[in-house]
Structure 1
Amino acid sequence: MHAEVGDWIVVEALHLDGPRRRGRIVQLEHPDGTPPYVVRWTEDDRETVFFPGPEAHVEPAGGRTG
């Protein structure tokens, strides 16, 4: 997984009807864009260091692809 600052991280629910989390990547811990990421979560505006698992994916910001 690779990301840039401004990309979105989306974490799919682990259980049926569970919440889907979405947050903006605000800081990279590694210059090559690999995890962990500092993420500001939309549901509570908190920032956390996030290590994505298999239920997470990156959505590029601004229509960028790849």
Structure 2
Amino acid sequence: MHASKGDRLVVHGRVVGKPDHVVEVVEVLGPNGTPPYRVRSENGHETIMSPGPDSVVDHRKAADRE
């Protein structure tokens, strides 16, 4: 998995009916775009995460999504 600052990280819900969790990558802490990542959720909370196999990177930047 490779991400850059500004990418979105989508963690798919593991239970039927549970929505995906989407966060923004604010800093890449691993070498060459690899995890761990510092991420920010919509409510402003930041944390460091190493995504699992239920996660995908959306490489579109915020300006590309508008």
TM above 0.5, yes or no, is yes
Instruction: Please give the alpha-carbon distance, in whole angstroms, between the structure 1 residues aligned to 2:59 and 2:4.
Output: 8
Once the 2 structures are TM-superposed, how far is the Cα of residue 17 of structure 1 from its aligned partner? 0.3
Please list every run of 5 or more consecutive structure 1 residues that lacks an aligned counterpart in the other structure: none
Count of matched residue positions in the alignment of Structure 1 and Structure 2: 62
Seq. identity, %: 37
Which residue is 1:31 aligned to? 31
Shift of 1:14: 0.5
Listed as ranges, the gaps of 5+ residues in structure 2 are: none
Aligned to 2:55: 56
Structure having the larger proportion of residues in helix: 2
Misfit runs of 4+, over 3 Å: none
1:10-49 superposed Cα distances (whole Å, 9 cap, x missing partner): 000000001210011000102300001000012x220000
Per the TM alignment, residue 9 of structure 1 is displaced from its structure 2 partner at its CA by 0.2
For 1:6, the aligned partner's letter is G
- Partner SS state of residue 32, structure 1: helix
**Greater displacement, 22-31 / 1-10:** 22-31
Q: Please give the secondary structure, in 1, of the residue aligned with 2:32.
A: coil
Letter in 2 for 1:58: V
Distance in 2 (alpha carbons) for counterparts of 1:19 and 1:39? 18
With the length of structure 2 as denominator, give the TM-score of the two structures. Answer: 0.86
